A = this chain, B = another copy of it.
Amino acid sequence: MHNKGNQIDVIIVGAGLSGLAAARTLRKNGKTVTVLEAQSRVGGRILSTSIKGSIFDLGAQWVSPHQHRIQTLIKEFGLTTTSTYKEGTSLYALLGKKKRGLGKKPPFSRLSLLDITSIEYAVKNLLENIEPTKPWESPLGQKLDSLTMETWLKKKMFTKYGKAFYRQVYEEGLCGRLSEVSVLDLIWSIKSTGSFDQYLSAEEEWITNGAQEIPNRIAEELGDTVLLDSKVLRIDWDDTEVKVYTEQGVWFSKKVILAIPPTLTNRIVYHPPLPSSRDQLCQRVWQGSVIKCVMVYETPFWRIRGESGIAFHDDGPVKATIDSSNPSRTEGILIAFVTGEEARRLGELSKEERKMEVLNCISYLFGHEGLNPKGYFDKDWSADPWARGGYAGHFPPGVLSQFGQALTKPIGPIHWAGSETATEWRLYMEGALEAGERAALEVIRKLT
């Protein structure tokens, strides 16, 4: 199978949100596209599922009211959002002790609180002084890129509890260790959300109908230009043409957009080979380890006890939990994240053993009612060959400052999308949209 006689404008590799956004933008501008997706479904790191009418997300889920692209799509497609439940006390299971606190009044000592306020102040100060698109170009950016978050945290914080809290929050966010990223990796991500307050709004609401609705609706619009089960094996390119090889045949186009995580772009064969700056960048950007678990209970039993369902935990497999119950239904839904080394350990257990470990941990956090959900689902993103980790790609020290420019720099007819290449809301669904649109616009400028 091939389209030689009928060359299209742009082939897009990957029908995640970013690839679909690129395809949509290109079509709106009169360009012909083909989207090649390796899996039998669209959505990439978005994956909704349902049980008896209850819909929930095993992948990306939360949105911020400040994310205008995704909010526009939500409205356009007639979807709704639910505000994240935050009533009542949250659990802080840190340093072997279980404490409770209200969202705005966490159970910290005055000294820990001072410590946390001061690190937030330091973060805000850095945010004001770095540039959002190429932060590695300034001397400050270079300096921040030479330090690990681990070294920085140890230098900046002085209370045991404050450090434990910050470590828990950021390591869960990275799905890795603080020693694995530079300070610039974190600061650039926060900067891309617009402000520290907007960054804190990232989990303020979730798409009630399941996030999967968004890629599904875009794919519906795109119709038969989206080809499933089409693994891209090889890309031959020169200044005038691209040949994209799948197991089914060869596809010809003028340009190609790769909308897949950086580490996966290196698993395609290129003729001629890509320049070393691009190849070596992708040898260094890592995806984290994460298993997202969903527990469906008869009722949100924690709410009755005045608990929010939010937990921070620095021991055992579950590192964080959050309530995701649909207010129009009676069942209670709790989401748990197993990240980092624990995700890799649980990933090698049987389904049943893994479930038991997660439920035991939930029971430690929320009491014995946690042990018997009527439904349990999980998704190991690190094991998924088309994601190979989550939530997103991160940069070890020394990488952004040397290779940052290679992240989006086109190579001949090859352009790069995916949430990792975004400069607004990097690593979020909003970032996937922004990156897809940006890559599409790059290509449109070249084609016209």
Binding site for B on A (CB under 8 A): 145-148, 150-151, 176-180, 182, 233, 263, 266-267, 269, 273, 275-277, 279-280, 283-287, 289, 340-341, 343-344, 347-348, 380, 382-383, 385, 388-389, 396-399, 402
Partner of A151, one of B147, B266, B279: B147
Residues of B within 8 A of A273 (CB): 383, 385
Indicate which residue in B150, B286, B402 contacts A284 across the interface (CB closer than 8 Å): B286
Q: Is the CB of A402 within 8 A of B177?
A: yes
Question: For residue A151, which residues in chain B have a CB less than 8 angstroms away from its CB?
Answer: 146-148, 151
Q: Point out the residues of chain B lying under 8 angstroms from A263, CB to CB.
A: 266, 283
Q: How many whole Å from A64's CB to the nearest CB in chain B? A: 28
Cα–Cα, bound, A276→B150 (Å)? 24
Q: Are A344 and B280 in contact (CB under 8 A)?
A: yes
User: Chain B contacts of A341 at CB under 8 A?
Assistant: 402
The reply to whether A399 and B180 contact each other, CB–CB distance below 8 Å, is: yes
In whole angstroms, how far apart are the Cα atoms of A344 and B276 in the complex?
6
Residues of B contacting A388 in the complex (Cβ-Cβ under 8 angstroms): 276, 279-280, 283
How many whole Å from A94's CB to the nearest CB in chain B? 20
Cα–Cα distance between A267 and B267 once the two chains are bound (Å): 4
Nearest Cβ in chain B — how far from A344, in angstroms?
5
Residues of B within 8 A of A279 (CB): 382, 388
In addition to A280-B286, A283-B389, A284-B284, 4 A-B residue pairs with Cβ atoms within 8 Å of each other are: A179-B398, A263-B266, A267-B267, A279-B388
Nearest B residue to A271 by beta-carbon distance?
Answer: B385
Q: Is the interface of A mostly helix, strand, loop or mixed?
A: mixed
In the complex with contacts A148-B148, A180-B398, A180-B399, A280-B289 CB distance below 8 A? yes
In the complex, which residue of chain B has the Cβ closest to the Cβ of A397? B179
In the assembled complex, 26 residue pairs joining A and B whose CB atoms fall closer than 8 Å, in A order, are: A146-B148, A146-B151, A147-B148, A148-B151, A148-B397, A150-B397, A151-B151, A176-B398, A177-B402, A178-B398, A179-B182, A179-B398, A180-B284, A180-B398, A180-B399, A267-B269, A273-B383, A276-B289, A276-B389, A277-B344, A283-B285, A283-B287, A284-B286, A340-B402, A341-B402, A396-B398
Q: Is the CB of A276 within 8 A of B380?
A: yes
With a CB–CB cut-off of 8 A, which chain B residues contact A287?
A: 280, 283
Chain B residue contacts of A289, Cβ below 8 A: 276, 280
What residues on B are CB-neighbors of A399 within 8 Å?
180
- Residue ID in chain B nearest A272 by CB atoms: B385
Complex formed: what's the CA distance from A276 to B180 in Å? 17
Which residue from chain B places its CB closest to the CB of A279 in the assembled complex? B388
A263-B283, A283-B286, A397-B397 given; A382·B276 CB < 8 A: yes
Q: How far is the CA of A285 from the CA of B283 in the complex (A)?
A: 7
A146, B179: Cβ atoms closer than 8 Å: yes
Closest B residue to A290 using CB positions: B276
Complex CA distance for A267 and B263, rounded to whole angstroms: 10
User: Which chain B residues lie closer than 8 Å to A182 at the CB level?
Assistant: 179
CB distance from A292 to the nearest CB of B (A): 14
Q: How far is the CB of A254 from chain B (nearest CB, A)?
A: 24
| A147 to B180 CA separation, bound complex (whole angstroms) | 10
Cα(A145)–Cα(B398), bound, Å: 16
Which 9 residue pairs across A and B have the least CB separation, nearest first?
A276-B382, A396-B396, A179-B398, A180-B398, A146-B179, A273-B385, A177-B398, A179-B397, A283-B286
A157 shortest CB reach to chain B, Å: 15
Residue pair A397, B180 in contact (C-beta under 8 Å): yes
CA distance A54 to B148 in the complex (A): 47
Contact status A383-B275, CB under 8 Å: yes
- Least Cβ–Cβ distance between A411 and chain B, in angstroms: 11
Contact B382 A347 (CB under 8 A): no
